Amino acid sequence: MHISSLLLLTAFFGALWPLYRWHRSRQSLAPAVFAGLLLGVLFGALVQLSRDWGVRPEELLPWIELVGEGYVKLLYLLVMPLVLVSILGAVVKMHRTESLGKISLSVLAVLLGTTAIAALLGVVMAELFNLSAAGLVEGSREAARAELLSERMGRVEGLGLPEILLNFIPENIFLDLTGARDTSVIAVVIFAVLLGVAALAVRRENPEQGKAIEHFVGLAQVWIMKLVRLVMAFTPYGVMALVAALIAESSWADIINLFSFVLASFVAIALMFVVHGALLLVNGISPLHYFARVWPVLVFAFSSRSSAATIPLNVETQIDKLGNSPAIANFSASFGATIGQNGCAGIYPAMLAVMVAVPLGIDVMDPLWLLTLVAVVVISSFGIAGVGGGATFAALVVLPTMGLPVTIAALLISVEPLIDMARTALNVNGAMTAGTLTQRWLGASVPASDNLARSS
């Protein structure tokens, strides 16, 4: 390793110590997460600037990614046990199974409704910024991405809604607990609900055995949540490493070249955050109080670019900070990681559809075309978990359905990581908004511990 790279790497690990001291001196996780974010940005920019000093990012970044990606892997480790035990615990503690249907319908209504709004915002922003696929240049990276997209198209062609829904049903729960399938999270949710309903039936027939099951599940919840909190303690350091690696690898020339698309995307995402806040306000919830409690989750989602990896922190924040019931928190976090993603499945494919349609002479503001696009986006956002791959797969479903080519998804690869950070934060916020609104609407039947929905 070059001496300059070694010195910079030493500085990175050295910066973890004051971050640790800062973290230990405060009870709240939020200040340490924000400090980690700032340190990550500064260190990533330093790596960019120090290339002329002999620093070799290919030597340096694997060690930084060891911290960041290692933390993300620990979070993935928690996802399936947390979803299984938490959903099971929520069902076992219920006395009326009809509450499950109300929670599911409410959460899905918010997720899909806000995705429709996100699609409309994507169209409007693409029009206001005059975005078009015409003139985009295809380089070697873009050509390689186009070949990959062609291969992935084979996985989504002919995949209808019945096939997507069928993929949600678990066939081998042990396989799904490994996360082997794109629909594994939803499959585990379904299994946990069925297992919980069976436990309720046992309790009705034999109260003593029912109490034993409830005690066992409660013990498992306490155990898993202790593990979650242990891993959560590493959040500031994971955020610092993830952001540093992302900034260090970003191509600013490509970002400037596609600046209009990047700016339009961020404006649309920012407006959707405003929409979430407006929905909360209309329902008597203070957006300022809400965002003050959830922003550490959004920072991690922004840096990790993974809705699934954010599930543990999402659930914990909804329960401890927002006062949502465990049942609502777990359903909204699990569904929101795979269904109705406002950023990846709403804004992104809608913007790409407009960019492709305009050069083809299609009037994108035609009401019929616009309504068709929104309907396709909403349906595909519900089923995108059936094919996996987030924003790219959303585009692969929406564009061909609208009769549009998919190659544009390959031409935007250079700015994807930057935009995907904000899209993921929006996805996660959509899930937490769905949970908070559901708690507000169903609060009487699903009690909360410290209901934020009562504040104004």
The predicted-structure confidence for 272-296, as pLDDT tens digits, reads as follows 999 999 999 999 999 999 999 998 8
Which range of 20-24, 82-86, 121-125 scores highest in mean pLDDT? It is 121-125
For 99, 322, 442, 443, the CA distances from 439, given in Å and listed in that order, are 12, 10, 5, 5
Instruction: Name which of 99, 103, 129 is nearest 351 in CA terms.
Output: 129
pLDDT of residue 9: 77
159 CA to centre of own chain: 23
Least confident of 2-11, 293-302, 378-387: 378-387
Please, what's the largest Cα pairwise distance for the chain?
Answer: 74
Position 107 scores a pLDDT of 92
Please, which pLDDT band fits residue 2 given cuts at 50, 70 and 90? low
Average pLDDT (125-138) is: 74
Q: What is the pLDDT of residue 451?
A: 44
Position 383 scores a pLDDT of: 53
Percentage of the chain modeled with pLDDT above 70 = 78
Confidence class of residue 407 from pLDDT cuts 50, 70 and 90? low
Residue 143: its pLDDT value, please?
43
pLDDT for residue 438: 94
Q: What is the pLDDT of residue 406?
A: 67
Would you call 448 helix, strand, or coil by DSSP? coil
Q: pTM value?
A: 0.72
Rounded Cα distance between 334 and 312, Å, is: 10
User: What is the distance between the alpha carbons of residues 335 and 112, in angstroms, rounded to a whole number?
Assistant: 11
- For the ranges 227-231, 410-414, 433-437, the maximum mean pLDDT occurs at 433-437
Domains defined along the chain, listed by start: 3-454 (1.10.3860.10)
User: Which pLDDT value is given to residue 431?
Assistant: 94
d(CA 196, CA 319): 20
Tokens of 262: 């990047």
pLDDT in tens, 181-212: 767 777 888 898 899 889 988 988 999 998 89
Taking the C-alpha atoms of residue 344 and residue 420, their distance in angstroms, rounded to an integer, is 8
121 close to 271: Cβ distance less than 8 angstroms: yes
At 76, the pLDDT band (50, 70, 90 cuts) reads: confident
The better pLDDT of the pair 134, 21 is held by 21
Instruction: Report the C-alpha dihedral over residues 315, 318, 320, 324, rounded to 10 degrees.
Output: -120
Q: Looking at residue 69, what is its pLDDT?
A: 84
DSSP state of 308: T
Contact at 8 Å (CB) between 334 and 182?
Answer: no
Average pLDDT of span 365-374: 89
Q: Which residue has the tokens 């109260």?
A: 207
In this predicted structure, which of 49-63, 324-338, 382-396 has the lowest mean pLDDT? Answer: 382-396
Residue 156 CB burial class (10 angstroms; 0-12, 13-18, ≥19): buried
Q: Which has the higher per-residue pLDDT, 433 or 104?
A: 433
Q: Indicate the average pLDDT of the chain.
A: 79
Confidence of residue 452 (pLDDT cuts 50, 70, 90): very low
At residue 164 the predicted structure's pLDDT band, cuts being 50, 70 and 90, is: low
How much is the pLDDT for 272?
Answer: 96
Overall average pLDDT of the 27-52 stretch: 78
Amino acid at 361: G
Whether the predicted pLDDT of 444 surpasses 80? no
pLDDT of 90 strictly over 90: no
